Structure 1
Amino acid sequence: MKNPILLLVFITLSTISNLWSQSVMGTLRGKVIDQNSEIPIPMAHMSLRGNKGEQIITTDLDGNFAVKQLAVGRYSVEISYVGYETVVLTDVLVSSTSTPFLTIKLKESVSVLDDVVVRVRQEKEAPLNPMASVSAKQLNMEEANRFAGGFDDPARLVSSFAGVASGVGENLLVVRGNSPKGILWQIEGIPVPNPNHFAEINGFGGGGLTALSSRTIGNSDFFTGAFPAEYGNALASVFDLSIRNGDYTDFHHSAQVGTLGLDVASEGPINRASNSSYLFNYRYSTLGLLGLGVDYQDLSFKFNLPTENLGTFSIWGLGLIDASESTPDTDTLESDFKWQYVEDLSSEYAQLSTGVGGITHKYFVGKGGYIQTTATVAANEISATNSRLDDDYVNTHILDSIEYQSVDYRLSSTLNYKFSPTHSNRTGVLYTHLNYDFTLQNAPQLGSPLQTIAEDDGQSHLIQAFTQSSIALPKLQINPGLHVLHFTLNGNTSVEPRLGVTYFAGEKAKLSLGYGLHSQIEKLSFYLADVPVGTSTQQLNRDLGFTKAHHVVLAYDRMLGEHTHLRIEPYYQYLYDVPVVDSSHFSMINLTDDFFINSELVNEGTGTNMGVDVTLEQFLHKGFYYLTTLSVFDSKYTDGNGQEWDTRFNRNVIANVVAGKEWTIKENNLLGANIKYTYMGGSRMHPLDNVASLDAETAIDDLTQPYGERTPDSHIASFTLTYRINKPRYSSHFSLQVLNTLAADEYLGYQYNFRNHTMDFITDAIVLPNLTYKIEF
């Protein structure tokens, strides 16, 4: 070109064109370790396959690998090593601003010579814990976050799993007909207080929203029954959560704003030479900014500090603060139009805080295993009152008051050792020092002085120990174990055998059997309640024993092709020594949220849960995935009269259909859509004594038929739309999540209608939309 101006324009346009056409790149890092000993595996062979071809790499002497300059998108990763079974990870997502870290565990083969590489499929449905045989599923956070209705909340995410029922307004988990209070929450391998916002107030065992953000949680395990011997003091389920390590090579930050809250996160190296890192996440609810009477915030963090000779230290923690308040309009003008139900006359105030901090030390012992020791302190405080205007709409009377503080110190130590390719063992102890201070009061009737239900302060101890082994044979794996639980408050001890057996019927099918005896203590205030005896009170429940349960589970797993998995799990649970009130319908088996229990309790109740869970799942393949579950079950209990009734959780049928699709847009961007439909049979409630209720102007239950009435069935639909834009230095995420899209009713029971002087059945249709924008850089 002779014209220099035209030449300059041509060069400029060409440069811009090249810049826009450049592929956005990302990085994939990870570590390959032995499944049982967790010793790094050096020089493992790895193959990465994506849309732009294949790359071959090997791990370094510490089992680490890093692949840079990968085009963003999804990859298939195959890892192999001589004498080990090959693992294939499919649809691993690589983005421009977050570096996925894969911890890949290889299982040593027991059926071949040392110089042979065994090729097996990837078990995406398998839990992280190698000791688990039945009723366990891994919660892969990258996969689970695609599910509609999850709201980035692990508890809501697992409500899509077989055997699990949950509501819209809270994340209480009813697992196989058991009360939500039977769940064990663990973080970093040690029990923690209920880690949910508005925990215990919304319901024992759950709350409104998990305080751990999905951006800090690593892949975790969820158990629905017959759990391994390392888990104790739980009857229903175990949620074994982990906090992932931050990136030790590069800094990553994110900020999110949405209709429900603000979210800020950061991670990166502390010292690149030692691979130390930090990770933190802070959230604040915009509901508080909008003045809706609900305010919550949480902070989670982890510092990972490897050393050259002293093992790896990690310092981690979780803190949350909640507040809620509602008051009635005390203006008496046109009061007949304002006040219809008792809730219109009621005031509620609650302030809650929970903090957990821990130090974990992991030290490898030779080439066979490691010792992991964790020390934690957990503080929890609840201050709540409920009040009501009197019939003159002038004076407010307190109905009940909760002041509950606890500080628990825990120390655990576990030795995990692989003696040979066929035998591994995990043995550990857990000591919990319980400190408590509480005052629980309520009024027998409106306007009456408050009476003390329980008031005490002091300390007690809970001591647990376990041992469990994994014995691998060519077509059989046996996981025997034993758990011991001792409660010093009353000297009760429980010795609990556990067993898991798996038979591998070829490469695509296996049959498993699980058994466990499990037990659980109650809330401390129930042991120390002031039970009326004549004109005084006594702590008659102090010697109350454990509630116990036998779990038996049979599981059949089969791969249908390369990407579809079928699991069928029939189960039977027999609960005994359940606390009940003599000559009463009351049983702890039905308890969800009542602090104010001061009746004498005896361990004479029983219960049964039996059913079958069916799961059919297609893992992400060519952009499409689905999960369908069906649970058919029956849940019964015997009361203090020795009579058998349905439990309040006996819905009989639960079904879920979750389906989603991903599309790659303009090579670098990702569009996702997901829908979820849930059908649940109605829950149980006491019938209404209509005549007595109208006379008392409040709901009076007909206790001649406990839980004899069933609410209508529930049909809940939710959807999620996401769009991710990848740029070289940042990525943008747009998300719309709507929970209960079709405004299905939740059924709350009966209330007296002050306007019409009738007893009305109350429903509430909660639709929760959450529109968010997040930037990562």
Structure 2
Amino acid sequence: MKKILITLFCLGVGWSWSQTGTLKGKVIDKQSEKPLESAQIALLNVQGFETTTDANGSFMLTGVPLGRQMLSVQALGYASVTLPNLEITAGKELILTIPLTEQLTTLNEVVVKNETSKGRALNKMATVSARQFTVEEVNRYAGGRSDVARLVANFAGVSAANDSRNDIVVRGNSPAGMLWRIEGVPVPSPNHFATLGTTGSPVSALNPNMLANSDFLTSAFPAEYGNAISGVFDLNFRKGNADRYEFMAGVGAYPGAEFVAEGPLGKKGGSFLVAARYGIAGYLGGAGTGAAIPNYNDVSFHLDFGKLASGSWSLFGIGGLSNINFLGKDATDDDLFSAKDSNQYVDSQFSVLGVSHKIYVGPQTFWKTTLAWATSGNRYEEERIYNFNTPNALNLPFTLNDNQDQRYTVSTFINSKVNKKTTLKAGILGEYFSLDYSLDDRNRQPDTNLDGYPDFNRIYLSKGNYQVIQPYAQLQYRFTNRLTLNAGIHGQYFSINEQSVVEPRAALTFAMNSRHSLNFGYGMHHQNVPAPILFQNSQVPGQPQQPNRHLDLVRSQHWVLGYDVKLAPQWRGKIELYYQAIDRAAVERSPSSYSSLTEGADFGYSTDKINLVSQGRGYNAGVEFTLEKFFSKGYHALITTSLFESKYRGSDGLWYNSPFNNRYVVNVLGGKEFKVGANQKNTLSFDGKVTTSGGRFYTPVDLVASQQAGYEITQDDKAYSLQYEAYFRLDLRVGYKFNSTKKKQSHLIYLEVQNVTDNNNIFISRYNRVTNQVNRVDQIGRFPDFGYRFQF
């Protein structure tokens, strides 16, 4: 490895002396999304690079020196914007979409100049508990594994002290409370090895190379988002380069082998973007399980057909497949997923296909409609070896879980900029779900046929369909340049229980001056109980019953108070206080510690929770701190701290710790770049990340009862009364980027070591039926990650 790095460094020094790049994009009105003509574009740190936008709002600067550049954008009557630290490379043109906000002041008054901030969401209606993230961050931050879900774990309010899964835990909520959206429509969990009702997994199926800047929201989100109570991940696909063909080929430990192609499509300014990946992590020992090799691959695409007479049309999609076999002969006692006395076979798939249409129906009004189809499925088979390690060993089917669901979605809305002060957005989202769920299991089943083994019983079987309809309307009213109100109403109809709800949302932002701002937000949100709980069968003779179908939508109310301060030209600080009250959660009719709020952070759900009632409660409260140094002067930094409490109440009337109640999370990230090469156009970078958090609470195992039963039995009267020790992890990364002088090519190579200190972070303490003891299982230890990308 040392020789390879030295060779690449020398090549980079020799290739760096004369190459340039291209910077282009579009300038639009932030509220109406109309292109702005005659906006002035200029590089601030290099003389002679100026232009204006054309009638389509487009601009292009060619021959731009490589490296970090600063761009100024100005338009008459709009607040000007400065975009610092834009990275120009030889292998790929940089394409931007730059929104400008119209000023309310008259033209002879001074126009305020702002610098863009990733702390502000792209969605103009999202002003509290919202954060923009960039693809650059996914590829730059240490420990990210090219996974957008792991990236947002660095943000305040998010905890993910689990190396084996990318579940997003927002402010102590279950990850099942998350809403994933792609191109404006809800989608199932966009992950490999995902299971019914969950929103995370070991490996993401989202290719970062496909993504444009997107939004992550953690509470009190605008009225257009629904059927979620914890957070929203609103992802956008970028467009391909409409002027020239570009390609990227690479390999990395976690993303695997990957290839990206993009270029012009048709004669109307259209473009295509296609990306494919094949996973190799299992072959490198990064899967966290014995000799089992995870196989996963995915393909994504985005076709933009340009500006047609009928409007703008685009087609997008993702397809992912994954499978893994856990064989008992390969398992160890400290294996994260497998066991010596069982053979397990896992298959999963995830697909999304959508078409979008956008047309202007007035000077400042557009209508956008998206139709989408999505499907997800997983099949899990387990064969248990009874009388293990004896002459009477017998292999019997133990679990067969086969879940398939499809959803058909239509989203349509109208966005109108009424005037400088007022913007309206109203629409409706309709989802039609078709499901086919089945679970046969011996786990915790009686032996009614007296053959000495638990019966193989049907736990649930459900085929059918249901609908979720969500109308909404929201308004942004700018009283002044400093005071903005976002308010709206969201409705939701759930056909299973025929329940309709109306949810008010509001957020107020006040910029006290150019450095300080206050914001307040309130939102009411509802979400249905996870499908595996909702459609569970009762074990009664005759026709199977599903007594949980009547459960109400879980209700959550959010209150947020935030303060933002610009500490220096590229330094930002933020504090948010929040309180979330949850009611109508599912709990057992008889007194117990169970609540549906504890579900969703594993590969499956409880299979014995029937006859539930909507009488559970919970709350999350905390304070979050963010200190961020946006990239400038060769370095960046991000420090986030979350202090919180997460509790729930069961039907026994007692309050318990949520299993997601870490109580504190601290992230410290930073990086430094050094310009190298003859003309200082290549980059040597160092990045690091330190994460620590309180351990999760867990329910102690009743060892004697477990030994007698042969499976794990927990002390549910002491639910989540014990806490694992604190989590700690240090990741370090070094990268080298260089550009060819002869062709439009660039190269990036990086080496990363995750969990540098080889800290023994606990994964779980569980009953081991083979050893007949409670064993500790640790998470993945020190692991090297690497990657190489070639853009041309």
TM-score norm. by structure 2 comes to 0.91
Q: Relative to 1, partners in 2 of residues 1:286 and 1:121: Cα closer, same or farther, differing over 3 Å? A: closer
**What one-letter code is carried by the residue in structure 1 that aligns with 2:759?**
A
Q: Which residue of 2 aligns with 1:460?
A: 466
Q: 1:590 aligns with which of 598, 617, 622?
A: 598
Instruction: Measure the CA separation in 2 of the matches of 1:734 and 1:336.
Output: 34
- The aligned counterpart of 1:599 is 610
- CA positional deviation for 1:91: 0.2
Conservation of the 8 A alpha-carbon contact between 2:703 and 2:767: no
The 1:337/1:120 distance shift into structure 2, 3 A limit, reads closer
Deviation by residue 1:137-177 (Cα, 9 ceiling, x = unmatched): 00111234211111111101111000111121110111100
Moved more, 120-129 or 759-768: 759-768
Which moves more between the two structures, 366-375 or 379-388? 379-388
Distance change in 2, residues 1:141/1:604 (3 Å) = same
> Which residue number in structure 2 is paired with residue 316 of structure 1?
316
Tell me whether 1:270 sits opposite 2:269 in the alignment: no
Task: Please give the alpha-carbon distance, in whole angstroms, between the structure 2 residues aligned to 1:549 and 1:54.
Answer: 55
SS in 1 for 2:176: helix
1:537 is displaced (CA, Å) by 4.1
- Unaligned runs of 5+ residues in structure 1 are 1-18
Structure 1 pair 29/502, CA: closer, same or farther in 2 (3 Å)? Answer: same
Over 3 Å counting, the alpha-carbon distance change for 1:358 and 1:758 in structure 2 is: closer
* Structure 2 CA distance for partners of 1:537 and 1:34, relative to 1, 3 Å: same
What one-letter code is carried by the residue in structure 1 that aligns with 2:686? Answer: A
**Equivalent residue number for residue 7 of structure 1:** none
- Provide the C-alpha distance between the structure 2 equivalents of 1:27 and 1:615, rounded to a whole number of angstroms: 34
Q: How far off its partner does 1:429 sit? A: 0.5
Q: Which amino acid aligns with 1:326?
A: F
Worse overlay, 727-736 or 176-185:
727-736
The CA deviation at 1:49 is 2.5
Say yes or no: does 1:675 pair with 2:688: yes
SS in 2 for 1:580: strand
Amino acid aligned to 2:414:
L
Match of 2:437 in 1: 438
Q: Does 1:473 align with 2:486?
A: no
Are the structure 2 counterparts of residues 341 and 292 from structure 1 closer, same or farther at C-alpha, using a change threshold of 3 Å? closer
Instruction: Answer whether contact 1:245 1:302 (CA < 8 A) is retained.
Output: yes
Contact 2:16–2:681 under 8 Å retained in 1 = no
2:223 aligned residue: 229
The partner residue of 1:538 within 545, 556, 568 is: 545
Cα distance change on mapping 1:62 and 1:756 into 2, 3 Å: closer
- In the alignment, what sits opposite 1:511? 518
Quick one: distance in 2 between partners of 1:466 and 1:154? 28
- The DSSP-based 3-state class of the residue aligned with 1:160 is coil
Given candidates 708, 713, 729, the residue that maps to 2:721 is 708
In the alignment, structure 1 residue 61 sits paired with structure 2 residue 68: no
SS in 1 for 2:704: helix
Cα 1:560–1:533 change in 2 (3 A) is same
Q: How is 1:572-587 mapped onto 2 (pairs within 5 angstroms)?
A: 572-582=579-589, 583-587=591-595
Structure 1 distance, partners of 2:332, 2:323, is: 30
CA contact (8 A) 2:249 2:789 kept: yes
* CA displacement 1:255-307 (0-9 Å, x = unmatched): 11233411011001113x42110001100012466774210000110000123
Give CA-to-partner distance per residue, 1:119-147, whole Å, 9 cap, x none: 23333311101101210000111234211
Q: 1:498 to 1:403 in 2, by over 3 A?
A: same
Q: What's the CA shift string for 1:728-771, capped at 9, x where partnerless? A: 42111101233323223342333446786543333233444321
1:26 aligns with 2:21: yes
Q: Distance in 1 between matches of 2:164 and 2:181?
A: 23
Aligned pairs for 1:124-523 (under 5 A) are 124-166=118-160, 167-200=162-195, 204-260=198-254, 261-271=256-266, 273-287=267-281, 292-329=292-329, 343-393=339-389, 394-445=393-444, 447-474=453-480, 475-523=482-530
C-alpha deviation, 1:341, in angstroms: 12
Deviation string 1:478-522 (CA, Å, 9 cap, x unpaired) is: 001010010112201111000000011001111000100001113
* Structure 2 contact 178–232 (Cα < 8 Å) conserved: yes
| Counterpart pick for 2:636 among 622, 625, 628 | 625
Name the stretch that deviates more: 553-562 or 300-309. Answer: 300-309
1:38-49 correspondence runs (5 A): 38-49=33-44
Q: Cα RMSD (Å) of the superposition?
A: 2.3
* Cα distance between partner residues in 1 of 2:337 and 2:112: 68
Letter in 1 for 2:203: L
Residue type matched to 2:59 in 1?
A: F
Distance 1:20 1:227, change over 3 A: closer
- Of the structure 1 ranges 767-776 and 501-510, higher mean CA displacement relative to structure 2 is found in 767-776
Measured against aligned partners, the alpha-carbon deviations of 1:536-576 in whole angstroms (never above 9, x if no partner) come to: 74211111110110000001000001110000000000000
Which of the residues 84, 95, 109 maps onto 1:90?
Answer: 84
Aligned to 2:700: 687
Equivalent pair of 1:340/1:755 in contact (CA under 8 Å) = no
| Pairwise CA distance, 1:336 | 12
Counterpart-to-counterpart distance in 2, 1:21 and 1:454:
63
Point out where structure 2 has 5 or more consecutive residues left out of the alignment.
1-13, 285-290, 446-452
The code of the aligned residue for 2:27 comes to: V
Structure 1 residue 390: Cα displacement: 0.8
Post-superposition shift, 1:688?
2.6
